[in-house]
Amino acid sequence: MDQELLLKGSRRLEWAEAHMSVLREIGKKLNETGTLKGVKVGMALHVEAKTGMLAVTLAQAGAKVRLASCNPLSTDDSVALALKHERGVEVYARKGESHDEYYENLNAVLDMRPEFVIDDGADLITMLHTVRREQLSEVKGGNEETTTGVIRLKAMAADGKLNFPVMAVNDARMKYLFDNRYGTGQSTFDGFLNATNLLVAGKELVVAGYGWCGRGVAMRAKGLGAIVTITEVDAVRAIEARLDGFNVMTMAQAAPRADIIITATGCKDIVRAEHLSMVKDGCVMGNSGHFDNEISKKALESMASPPVRVREHVERYDLKDGRKVYLIAEGRLMNLAAGQGHPVEIMDMSFSIQALALEHLVRNCATMRPEVYPVPSGMDELVARLKLKAMGLSIDELTPAQKKYLEDWQEGT
Ligand code: ADE
């Protein structure tokens, strides 16, 4: 065994553990109640230190846990090793795994016959509803971590195809307000800067999508001194972007001026042939959405000679007309493929919601329908209170008279 790699993973887990105080509190509560004792949980998440601490927390609370990656490029091999050898978590993941290996690993998670699943992007749940249907009836519920996954699962439910209840962890306020905005905002530039070592200040930077992730990326790009342009398909969000002080235009208008293009839409074909035909020589492109289909690799491949790896996480495409463009991390989510994912304190909140949502499912699945459920607001409140405490912040409380005022429509002023 590679002892150096093991030590590195071990230290990374310790670091995450030390900075995830909310999850620690939730873990204590789960240990006391014993709700997760003996429960089989299959997980497909980004296998890195914060995820590792979620798996460890569930395992310490008595769950039987098996973990695979939800993306072929996002695994931290050092953490995977330390989880296996020091923390007793079964892990099936390797950074750079092939397409076939990726599905073999998801299959290995399903081989444990999980009663509950925790997914990020909905590939695991989709497999259960397609190629592993024979064990669908054994699954009592699932959690979904990300916007893309929730969209897929809502489509599945609308089609009448979803077979068990799913908690939309992504849609909890304590998740998307911080993870999607501040998490993606910071980690996108962790990945970008690590991959490129380029200056952001003074660059024309285009952000595709002004959802919570796009808002976070745009905010941080502005902070780093970029001249930021937003592309959107939602008219309301486009106005919001404009009033937040950004240029707003179509991708066709934005692409020719871009030094950097970052996609964060959750949709496909955002940068396609018609845009690639106009981008400037030297344009650097990267994606922070869940799947690697936002920047069309098919179009790039058809317009350029085979890519040349010019840095660890950057490939150069030489277009036939002589322009060169650069793609970060093969168009996969650069915050994890080229960076370390969201900051620890952010994932502390997201994974606390995950742990509580799982407990909720275990307790209530017998009476829940096969639908996508919002996370109960009490969980947001609990995690927020614990986080405030961890931050050393106090807030005011309503006085009895204020409470009455808010409930009494007759009182007026
Ligand atoms: N670390 C673990 N899961 C993550 C996610 N979904 N996004 C960013 N960083 C992560």
Whether the CB-CB separation of 164 and 139 falls below 8 Å is answered with yes
Q: Which CATH class is domain 3-175+343-390?
A: alpha beta
Ligand 1 center to 341 CA (angstroms): 5
| Residue pLDDT, tens place only, 287-344 | 999 999 999 999 999 999 999 999 999 999 999 999 999 999 999 999 999 999 999 9
**342 CA to centre of ligand 1 in angstroms:** 6
Q: What is the DSSP letter of 280?
A: P
97-115 pLDDT, tens digit per residue, is: 999 999 999 999 999 999 9
Which strands, in side-by-side order, build the sheet including 141-144? 90-92, 64-69, 40-45, 116-119, 141-144, 166-168, 372-374
**50 ligand 1 Cβ < 6 A:** yes
12 lines ligand 1 (CB under 6 A): no
Which of 23, 45, 349 for mutating ligand 1's site (highest number of atoms within 8 Å of CB)? 45
The answer to whether 219 and 185 have CB atoms below 8 angstroms apart is yes
C-alpha of residue 409 to centroid of ligand 1, in Å: 44
Q: Mean pLDDT over residues 5-26, rounded?
A: 98
Query: In 3D, which of 303, 343, 299 has the Cα closest to residue 321?
Result: 303
Every domain of the chain and the residues it spans: 3-175+343-390, 182-337
Helices 49-60 and 344-364: crossing angle, nearest 10°? Answer: 30
Q: Which pTM was predicted?
A: 0.95
Q: Separation of 302 CA from ligand 1 center, angstroms?
A: 32
Determine whether the shortest distance from the Cβ of 290 to ligand 1 is under 6 A.
no
Nearest residue (by CA) to ligand 1, atom 1, is: 341
Instruction: Check pocket membership of 120 for ligand 1, CB cut-off 6 A.
Output: yes
Ligand 1 near 48 CB (within 6 A): yes
Domain boundaries 182-337, corresponding CATH code: 3.40.50.720
Q: Is 3-175+343-390's fold the same as 182-337's?
A: yes
The residue whose CA has the least distance to atom 9 of ligand 1 is 341
- pLDDT tens for 173-201 read 999 999 999 999 999 999 999 999 999 99
What separation in Å is there between the alpha carbon of 150 and the centre of ligand 1?
Answer: 15
